[in-house]
Amino acid sequence: MSPVSLAAVFAVGVLVVIVGYITVASYNAVMGLRQRSDKAWSNIDVVLKQRHDLLPALVAAVRGVMAFEQNVLTEVTRARAAYSPTEPIPDKAAHAEATSAAVRSLLADRRELYNDQVYRYNTRISTLPTLPLAWMFGWKPREFFAATPEETVRPESTL
């Protein structure tokens, strides 16, 4: 084999290795982003479940405070004196509100994390060198989390 032929074979081999490396690295990067966006979506489900589980406790705490305040108002009216409760005001409502605020904040953080992962995934599959792989494997952009019009309206609560 002549030195020119040997150099050509070597050059083709190096080119195949480089293209193979870029392909494998791009594929692995996209799969990692897909997994992170799936995980982020699951985290949103976890927080929604947590919120669902905490809502009855919040309603019960508010009802308890309402009953306590109604009792205090009745006693004040009967005594026609200055407002001085004989027992401490329960802090269940404050705790429930703080918990509710923490869950809302956590949910907002998880939604933001999901949208960030979707942004990274969509950017990766729409740019070179991953764009041809996205076309070959049929990877489609994912949708960002967006609240529906019904979710933007403050929910009504009956106590």
Listed by start position, the domains of the chain span: 3-141
pLDDT of residue 103: 75
Mean of pLDDT values over 57-78: 72
The per-residue pLDDT for range 20-45, each reduced to its tens digit, is: 998 888 888 888 888 888 888 777 77
Select, from the ranges 16-20, 58-62, 66-70, 103-107, the one with the highest average predicted confidence (pLDDT). Answer: 16-20
pLDDT of residue 12: 93
Owner of token pair 């009956």 = 158
pLDDT of residue 157: 59
Q: Please state the pTM of the whole predicted model.
A: 0.53
Provide the token pair at 16: 């195949």
pLDDT of residue 47: 77
Please state, in angstroms and rounded to a whole number, the distance separating the CA atoms of residues 138 and 135.
Answer: 5
Please state, in angstroms and rounded to a whole number, the distance separating the CA atoms of residues 30 and 158.
Answer: 47
Q: HSE-up of 34 (CA within 13 Å, CB side)?
A: 11
Owner of token pair 């309603």 = 59
pLDDT of residue 152: 59
Higher-scoring residue by pLDDT: 8, 61: 8
pLDDT of residue 131: 85
